[in-house]
Structure formats: structure tokens, C-alpha cells
Chain A
Amino acid sequence: MTATRTPKTLAELTTGSPPDPEQWDLRLYVAGKTPKSVAAIANLQRLCDEHLAGKYTIEIVDLIAHPHLAKGDEIVAIPTLIRKLPEPIRRVIGDLSNIERALVGLQIRARE
């Protein structure tokens, strides 16, 4: 995957400006307190503190409490992390315990 995809949001089309690389909007879908959900929350927090300090927002969505909130993001497996910004959307499934894999998945680090 590369970042050559056509911009999709209206805002981007109208302004034509590239996404702010200094802003990372992440959304993590979890299922209550399953072991991987709990681990994913902790690992994501650590990952962001270490690699995206000061330029990220995390939104955690518990699908057991709010199952309908998954609609827009086509969630099947949980936990799933969605990178909303910067575009394009990227997803990583799992508890993010493998930090290297998570960093590559989010394209914070280039694939080797």
C-alpha cells in the first residue's frame, strides 16, 4: 500500500491541502474486557507515547456496549485499530503486542 490514493474527504478536495502529518487520529475498537482488548488499549497508549508524543488522539470504542458504532469502519475482528488520519485509512488487527508490526501497519515505520 502506498499513499498515492486519491483524497476522499470533501475538506481535502476543496482545500487541496495534504493531511497534516503532525496529526494522528486513531480509533481502537475493543470488545469489553477481553484479554486482547485490554492489552490493545495498554499497548496503543504506550506506542503513541513513545512514537507519536504530542500529536495524536485516541478514540476507544467498546463494541460490546455500542455495537452499532462499527458500521462505518467495516469491523469484523476485534480488537482493530483504525488510522483515520493521516489518510489513507489503515487498519491493524490484534492486541498490538508486537510493536514493530504495529508501527509498520500504521506506517509510522516503513516496511522492511
Chain B
Amino acid sequence: MSGKTVRPGARAAVDERLRRENEELRERLEQAEATLRALAAGDADAVLVAESEQERVYTLATPDLPYRLAVEQLPHPAATLTHEGTIIYANQRFADQLGAVQSELTGKPLVQLVSPASRAVFERLVADCGSGAEDDAQADITLQGDAGRPIAVRLGASMLREGALGSCLVVRDLTLERHYHELRRTQEALRASEEELREADRKKDEFLAMLAHELRNPLLPMRNAVELLGAKGPLAPEQEWARGVVDRQIRLMARLLDDLLDVARIARHTLELRTERVALATVLEAALETSRPLIDAEQHELTIAMPETPIYLQADPLRLTQVFGNLLNNAAKYTERGGRIDILVEQDGADAVVSIKDTGIGISAEMLPQIFEMFTQARQAIDRSQGGLGIGLSLVKGLTGLHGGSIEARSAGPGRGSEFIVRLPVAP
């Protein structure tokens, strides 16, 4: 022993301390090595790092989170592949389209998700892209979704030049695209047929105008002839009766053709109003004058209620007389003999409101909305000789519209009378 003496007890204590320290160090080393081994083997996917007195967890997802989010935001299914076609990363849309679980797609060869019939095409696509023969390749293939569900898609693959990755794949869903195209086609077809309908409608109006014109031409000489017949002195009673029939029918026909011509003109926007400042009362009087014979013949009771202050309109008096004459004629025509017709005139703000109400055959609820359309007419209880083409109300509506007004029909139903309400702007 040298000069330094150590008590045996103390020495044993030192040995023990060293032994323990050694043991502890060995253990810590072992622990560190185990941690390193685990990290190297990829057993952990997150680490805890102490940054200036504060711990922070970094997961594998942390560094590529921004890029992952960007890929997830893509409006298309997308995936990155190795050169061999194994999925490195697939976004949620990609998984959704195939009905797969996103986390299970990583590491899967994509070819397993391609329908057998499309595999050759798919492999060519990956090979073309992988060999660098084509930077951007596309192919229409069918993928196999969950339960073998076929999904027609267009795969666009582009070569990734950076690093060891293979290619980036973007899937476009052709099913959606097809639906979209079908929708577009239907829309175009609809538009075309709408255009055709419009054209047919225009031709119809043209035809009606021409027809009315052509049919009216022979009426004038016919009327002249009938008048000539009457002027030639007294006829035998049968002859006089026959002359009367022809005369009345020619007048009726002339009126129908005039209406038809007017309706055609309104439809073609060629009817022009000759407006002037006119009292509504004057117009109604003129209309009553033309309808009075029919009203009297049917023995209807007629009442008129007018405000004391006269109402003036800026209107075409002849056309407006036509409107009310038509309505009054209808009221007289479609009301059983001995009925009642009430005319009520009021001013409602800037509008003059004329209501013509009868106790006639009325209008059914399903007929009401289309009563102003051409060729519509109440079918029930029409005396053939009184029937028209059903253009009267259409003309009334057209003329009211040209005056900046509106018309409305009301009826509680068949047999319960009708009311027509015309609103026209009052002249300032």
C-alpha cells in the first residue's frame, strides 16, 4: 500500500458507490440505445423535444402538414406513387372515391385497385410516366371500388423529377363528368326545342293574321250583294227571312275575323293605339250602345254605379270600347235569360277599376287560370250561334295590357256568375 491509507469500511463504501453509479450508467445507456433502436426501426412516429425549457411534440405529420393540407384541399382525388406504382400518399377524396380507408391505402400497389380489364392500360401509363417517356400521361380506366364497384375515371399521371418518388396521380371522375355532359346536352336540347316552339308560335300568329285577312276579303262583296237584295223592293217572307240570316251571319263573321286579326296583331306587336284623353264614362256608354241590343233581347237587368267625379284616361277610345263591349257581350251571352248584370266603376288610387258582374253560368276553378288564353271558352251551355273562336277574352286582355292595365276574372264556380275586373291607369 502507498502513503494513502484507506479504511476498509470506507473503501467498501466507495466500491459500492462506484458499482451503483456504473450500474445506473449502464442502465441509462441501455435505455438510450433502446430508444435509438426504436427510432431507427420506425417504432415511434412522434418525438418529444425540449425547446428552451419547454417540451414540444413533433409528429411525423408535423413537417409535411402544410403540403398534406394542400393535397387534401384539391378538388380531385390525388395520390403519389413509387416508380413501381405503390401508393405513398393518397388524399381523402381518393379514398372516398374507392370507398377505402385513407390510412390503409399507403403501401398498397395501386394496380390492385384497377379493374382487371384496365390493368394493361394502367401499367402502360405508369411505365410511360416512370421511364420519363412522357411527363404527363392520361388514360381512361376503370377502378375497382369497394365490393368491386366499377368507377370510370381519367387518370392523369405526371412524373416527379425531384427525389426518388415516382409519379403524382390525379384522378378525374368521369362518372361525374358524364352526368355533367348529359345535363348540358339535355339543357341544349331543351333550349333548341324552346326556340322551335317560339318559332312555331310566331308562324301561327303570322298564319292567323293572313287567314283573317284573306277570309275577310270576300265579306265586303257578300254584304253589298245582300244589301242590294234588300234594296230591290219587298221580298217574299221566306226570301226576307233568308236575307236576314245571311246579313246577320256576315256581320258576325266580320266581327269574329276583326277580333282574330286584332289578336294576331297584338301577338306580333303590330297593333298601335291612337290614344287621347277620354272620359271613362264615354267609353262605357259607347260599349253599352253596342251590347244593349243583346242585353235587351235576353231581358237582363242592368245596373251601373259610377263615382260622381268623372275619371279620365289616356286611351284609345275605340279599343277600350271593344274591351268593355266584349265583356258586356259575354255577360249577356253566358247568362240565362232574365239575369242580372252590374257595372261598378271606382277609382282606386292611380287606377280606375271597372267591375262587370253577372249572374251567369260562371267559370269552373280549373278553367279560371286559362280563361284569357286564345281558343279557350266555356264549353257548357253555349248556343252554337253565339259561340266564337274563344278569342274574345284573349283580345280583351291584350288590349287592356296595351293600355298599361290588367284584367282579372273571378267566379265562385259553375252556375254562380262571373266577375271581370279591369284596372286602367288614370290620366294625370
Binding site for B on A (CB under 8 A): 1, 5-6, 31-32, 34-37, 63-64, 67-68, 70-71, 74-80, 91, 93-95
**Of A1, A32, A77, which is within 8 A of B35 by CB?**
A77
CB neighbours (8 Å) of A95 from chain B are 43
When A34-B59, A67-B55, A68-B55 are in contact, do A78 and B47 touch as well, CB less than 8 Å?
Answer: yes
Which chain B residues (39-60) contact chain A, with CB distance < 8 Å?
39, 41, 43-48, 54-57, 59-60
B46 touches A34 (CB 8 A): yes
Q: Does B31 lie at the interface of the complex (its beta carbon under 8 Å from any beta carbon of A)?
A: yes
- Residue from B20, B44, B55, B103 with most neighbouring chain A CB atoms (10 Å): B44
Report, nearest first, the 6 A-B pairs whose CB atoms are least far apart. A94-B43, A31-B46, A77-B44, A93-B38, A67-B55, A78-B46
B46 x A35 contact (CB < 8 A): no
Residues of B within 8 A of A71 (CB): 55
Q: Check if B34 is an interface residue, CB within 8 A of chain A.
A: yes
17 additional A-B pairs beyond A37-B45, A64-B59, A77-B48, beta carbons within 8 Å, are A1-B30, A6-B20, A32-B46, A32-B59, A35-B103, A36-B45, A67-B57, A74-B31, A77-B43, A78-B46, A78-B47, A79-B44, A79-B45, A91-B31, A93-B35, A93-B43, A94-B44
| CB-based contact B59/A93 at 8 Å | no
In angstroms, how far is the closest chain A Cβ from the Cβ of B38? 4
Contacts of B231 in A (CB 8 A): none
List of B residues within 8 angstroms of A64 by Cβ: 57, 59
Residue contact A34 to B45, C-beta cutoff 8 Å? yes
**Docked pose: A79 CA to B61 CA in angstroms:** 14
Number of A-B contacts (CB under 8 A): 78
Interface extent on B, as a size class? 20 to 34
Q: Are A70 and B48 in contact (CB under 8 A)?
A: yes
Contact yes or no, A77 B55, CB < 8 A: no
Which residues of A are found within 8 Å of B47, using beta-carbon distances?
76-78
Least CB separation from B38: chain A residue: A93
Knowing A34-B61, A67-B57, A68-B55 are in contact, say whether A93-B103 is a contact too (CB < 8 A): no
| Residues A78 and B44 in contact, CB atoms below 8 Å apart | yes
- In the complex formed, the residue of B with least CB distance to A39 is B45
A80–B46 Cα distance when bound, in Å, is 10
Contacts of A34 in B (CB 8 A): 45-46, 59-61
Closest chain A residue to B24, Cβ basis: A5
| Residues in chain B near residue A77, CB distance under 8 A | 35, 38-39, 43-44, 46-48
Give Cα A70 to B55, complex, Å: 8
Chain B residues contacting A78 (CB-CB under 8 Å) are 44-48, 57, 59
| Closest beta carbon of chain A to B80's beta carbon, Å | 18
Complex: how many Å from CA A76 to CA B39?
9
Which residues of chain A are near B41, meaning CB under 8 Å?
A: 94
Q: For residue B35, which residues in chain A have a CB less than 8 angstroms away from its CB? A: 76-77, 93
CA distance A63 to B55 in the complex (A): 9
The answer to whether B48 and A75 touch across the interface, beta carbons within 8 angstroms, is: yes
Q: Are A79 and B55 in touch, CB under 8 angstroms?
A: no
**B385 to A: closest C-beta gap in Å:** 89
Cross-chain contact B34 with A91 (CB below 8 angstroms): yes
Q: Could you show 18 A-B contacts with beta carbons less than 8 Å apart?
A: A1-B27, A31-B45, A31-B59, A32-B46, A32-B59, A34-B45, A34-B59, A37-B45, A67-B54, A70-B48, A71-B55, A77-B35, A77-B39, A77-B47, A78-B48, A79-B46, A94-B41, A95-B43
Residue ID in chain B nearest A6 by CB atoms: B20
Contact A93 B34 (CB under 8 A): yes
For B30, B31, B46, B54, the residue with the greatest tally of chain A CB atoms inside 10 Å of its CB is: B46
Residue of B nearest to A30 (CB): B46
A31 to B103, CA, bound (A): 17
Q: A67-B57, A70-B55, A77-B38 are contacts. A93–B44 as well, Cβ < 8 Å?
A: yes
Closest A residue to B61 by CB, please name it.
Answer: A34
Cα-based distance from A74 to B20 in the complex (angstroms) = 20
Q: For B27, B43, B103, which residue has the most chain A Cβ atoms within 10 angstroms?
A: B43
Residues of B within 8 A of A5 (CB): 23
CB distance from B48 to the nearest CB of A (A): 5
For the complex, what is the distance from the CA of A98 to the CA of B35, rounded to whole Å? 17
Across-interface contacts of A76 in B (CB, < 8 A): 35, 39, 47-48
A94 touches B38 (CB 8 A): yes
Bound CA span A29–B31, Å: 16
Chain B residues with CB under 8 A of A93? 34-35, 38-39, 43-44
Return B190 CB to nearest CB of chain A, in Å: 50
Q: A78 to B46: give the CA distance in the assembly, Å.
A: 5
Residues of A within 8 A of B55 (CB): 63, 67-68, 70-71
State A64–B57 Cα separation when bound (angstroms): 6
